Amino acid sequence: MAVVRSTTRAPGRINALVGAVVGAVFVVVGLLGFTVSGEHSFAGHTGSNLILFQVNGLHNVVHLAVGIVLILAAIAGTRAARTANTTIGAVYLILGVLGLFLPAASALNLIALNGADNALHIVIGLVLVAFGLGADRR
């Protein structure tokens, strides 16, 4: 009896995979951020550099929360992962664009955003929205 194996990916898994991977990276970055951000206030426009990206305690908590939401959505299934990827991606895209117009020393800059953060937020937003809207469609 011949066994036929498919070389295509199983449908309905891409968003869960993307959400889990991006979520895991967010959790790691959130934890690493606490190793460098202790000398600054928890929230405010100043922070410490984690490579090129400025972080403070609140920024780290946001990374952890976003990472956990993405991972839990990935575990919950395709629909939840698509929704989380699209929603979180849209929020990050908006945050990145708004950050381009927000002065670094503004009182509204509670999570110590800098130019590198803004660029990365736009990229993450585009990737998550693209997968959320484009993959696993039925």
Per-residue tokens: 64: 């952890």
CB atoms within 10 A of CB 69: 17
* Alpha carbon distance, N-terminus to C-terminus of the chain: 33
Q: What is the pLDDT of residue 6?
A: 45
| Tens digits of pLDDT across the chain (138 residues) | 565 554 444 556 999 999 999 999 999 999 998 888 877 777 666 677 788 887 888 889 999 999 999 999 999 999 999 999 999 999 999 999 988 888 777 777 777 788 888 999 999 999 999 999 998 776
pLDDT of residue 8: 47
Closest CA to 73 of 137, 138, 3, 128: 128
Looking at residue 46, what is its pLDDT?
A: 65
- CA 104, CA 86: separation in Å to the nearest integer? 27
Cβ neighbourhood burial of 137 (10 Å; 0-12, 13-18, 19+): exposed
For residue 54, the model assigns a pLDDT of 79
Query: Rounded distance, CA 58 to CA 113, Å?
Result: 11
Do residues 29 and 41 touch, judged by C-beta distance below 8 A?
Answer: no
CB atoms closer than 10 angstroms to residue 134: 12
